[in-house]
Structure 1
Amino acid sequence: MPELRKDPISDRWVIFSPARSRRPSEYSRSGEAPLPESSDFAQGNEDRTPPEIYAIRPDGSDANTPGWQLRVVPNKFPAIMRDNPDVTSASPLFQRRPAIGAHEVVIETGDSDSSLADLSTAELAQVLRCFRDRIRALKAEGRFQYVQVFKNHGQNAGATIRHSHSQIMAFPDIPEEISREMQSASAHFSREGRCIFCDLLEAENQQEERLIAQNDLFQALSPFAARVSCETWILPRTHHSHFEGHSDEDLHLLADLLRIALVKINRVLGFPPYNLILHSAPLRQAALPDYHWHIEIIPRTSYLAGLEWSCGYYQNALMPEEAARQLREAAL
């Protein structure tokens, strides 16, 4: 069963989930992706996944049958589990606890040959509405504090299945990285009385050199301290702490900008693997004046090496101002 163990030196928690080693991979050791006869996630292979817990079926077809445009199923090889036997810490020095939570897979399309960037704005809006609806549903359960939505695209970004999909994980506590981000935002609010993300957007709009694209509600930019080439953030232009508070109309506009950002990244970097992550405020907290939800797109054009592992310093060979210029000028 999955469990969490705490490093007594760094205070870092690590998830151990041995069942994940049994995941099938559609990638060879060389990194090439041989085409399987048919993906488990493809239309018509519904019996190869756990029963769906959410689906978009315009023709009213039955659950777990063909006719869907998007499906959500429990992860067959979960890193965390809803019902997980308790584990006892051996000592205060060696702390461990069960890795409890929900782990879901969002199958974003029935077409095994389409990537997220290939979807239409309407199709991409369906994916974003699914994220919102699943966050709301997991929040309603009352047992989770945080929901993390993320996507691994390509083998070097951690994907083992080529068919376009993303993942949703719900945790009973707030992950360390989110806590650090929120503490930084809270400290800025205590000093300045304003949201740091709102201040960031105002400054970026004044300077303009790191802006990539925008519409009436959302803005895409290259962050000032981008960790990798063409790292891109998308934020609402007005203050919103919780992603799940947005309407269908809002998410349609977000889908349009997200599609533009992904297409431009593909043009500049040649269809790179990437991670996409959504950071939103914790479930049990009301609207926060100091936090601003956002999407981070992190192209995986290089590997973490000795400096990153030893010191935590990222190395980026492309200045964010130049990355933003290339992305702005990239054709759609």
Structure 2
Amino acid sequence: MNELGIDILNGSKVIIAKERVNKPMDSCGESKNIVQGEYNIDCPFCRGNESMVPEETFIIEEDNNWVSKSVINKYPILDDDISNQLYGRHEVMVETYRHDGNFYNMKNNEFYNMFIMYKDRYESLMDERGIKYVCIFKNYLRQAGASLMHPHSQIISLPLIPPELEREYEICRDYYEKMGINMYEHIISQEIKEDKRVIYNSDEFLVFMPQVSRFVGETIILLKKNKYFEEIKNDELKELSYIFETYFKNMYKENGNCPFNIYIHTHPLNEGEMYKKTFNIHIHIVPRKFNLGGFELSTGFYVSCGNVEEIIKKLKFK
């Protein structure tokens, strides 16, 4: 029997239709899109092609060669003119110099460099005048919105709080006012107690699949402690690197070279300490097995199918 559920993190209404997982469809593996070769002469993000990209804003070097770097986005979403109402900085964070690198084959140290870069660029952009939110996200493969195949993420500073985050903040604030505790503390306690949807659990992080989610196989990496993104310590970034390396190895075994999106939800900037009490940083990993169709776009409902517990068994690790 199909059911109506609520995504607890953002309040979205989700129709749970498990039988639809059996509908015929092409594989999401996109194996034909697996990139070959460490260097591509036409790629602006490859080492050796530095003349193709705009100004570099951050570099990590090893043996006198860069291994990760961030550059100004040549085609920004927002205007970098501070007099513009939609002012913001938009950078591309090149995760590794390897053209054939991706989250399914990157090593622990590559993920660590990436997270060091994320934190540095976040701290830089958050200090700009008038900025209320800094958005970090990644698209992998065309089906998930990527325009270039070289491994990269993006970071954008925004002069306003995005609607998706406004909803999450409001849900957390309402929960805190009604229950007197942080909603994420309740989620952590319940997920660990039930132990049905937990993929990984430690002192610092909980990795789990929500019982109800807008997207099939969506995974949440939740920081257990109340802290701002710029307060995350290097030891925590090292553990996060281990989580990413292990999770994506397991995900590849299950789904192959599947497209995905990643986005990090952090606190609003310059909005007071209340948000720190009510909101915890978390990372969304969204496999793009299914695209949104006409029903979702026309109604605002989401349709979820598949057995979460079965997926989790194949992704779980310590």
Q: Which range, TM-score by smaller chain?
A: 0.7 to 0.9
Does the CA-based 8 Å contact 1:210-1:222 persist in structure 2?
A: yes
1:53-132 → structure 2 map (5 Å cutoff):
53-59=57-63, 61=64, 67-83=65-81, 86=84, 98-132=85-119
* Deviation, structure 1 residue 160: 1.1
Q: 1:243 to 1:214 in 2, by over 3 A?
A: same
Letter in 2 for 1:71: K
Q: For residue 322 of structure 1, what is the aligned residue in structure 2?
A: 310
Q: Percent identity?
A: 29
1:1-332 → structure 2 map (5 Å cutoff):
33=33, 37-59=41-63, 61=64, 67-83=65-81, 86=84, 98-240=85-227, 242-287=228-273, 288-328=276-316
1:111-134 superposed Cα distances (whole Å, 9 cap, x missing partner):
001102322212201111111111
* Deviation, structure 1 residue 304: 0.4
Does the CA-based 8 Å contact 1:234-1:258 persist in structure 2?
A: no
User: 1 CA distance for matches of 2:257 and 2:214?
Assistant: 18
1:257-298 superposed Cα distances (whole Å, 9 cap, x missing partner):
122222222221122100000000012135510001100000
User: 2 CA distance for matches of 1:110 and 1:68?
Assistant: 7
Q: 1:31 to 1:117 in 2, by over 3 A?
A: closer
Report how many aligned residue pairs link the two structures. Answer: 283
Q: 1:31 to 1:101 in 2, by over 3 A?
A: farther
* Deviation, structure 1 residue 228: 2.4
User: 2 CA distance for matches of 1:182 and 1:243?
Assistant: 16
Post-superposition, which runs of at least 4 consecutive aligned residues in structure 1 deviate over 6 A? none
Does the CA-based 8 Å contact 1:144-1:283 persist in structure 2?
A: yes
Taking structure 2 as the reference length, the TM-score comes to 0.84
Taking structure 1 as the reference length, the TM-score comes to 0.80
Q: For residue 6 of structure 1, what is the aligned residue in structure 2?
A: none
User: 1 CA distance for matches of 2:112 and 2:31?
Assistant: 31
Q: Which ranges of structure 2 fall in alignment gaps of 5 or more residues?
A: 1-29
User: 2 CA distance for matches of 1:322 and 1:314?
Assistant: 21
Q: Which ranges of structure 1 fall in alignment gaps of 5 or more residues?
A: 1-29, 62-66, 87-97
RCO greater where, 1 or 2, for CA within 8 Å and sep 6 or more? 2
Superposed CA RMSD in Å reads: 2.1
1:128-174 superposed Cα distances (whole Å, 9 cap, x missing partner):
11111111111222331100000000110000111000000100111
Letter in 1 for 2:54: P
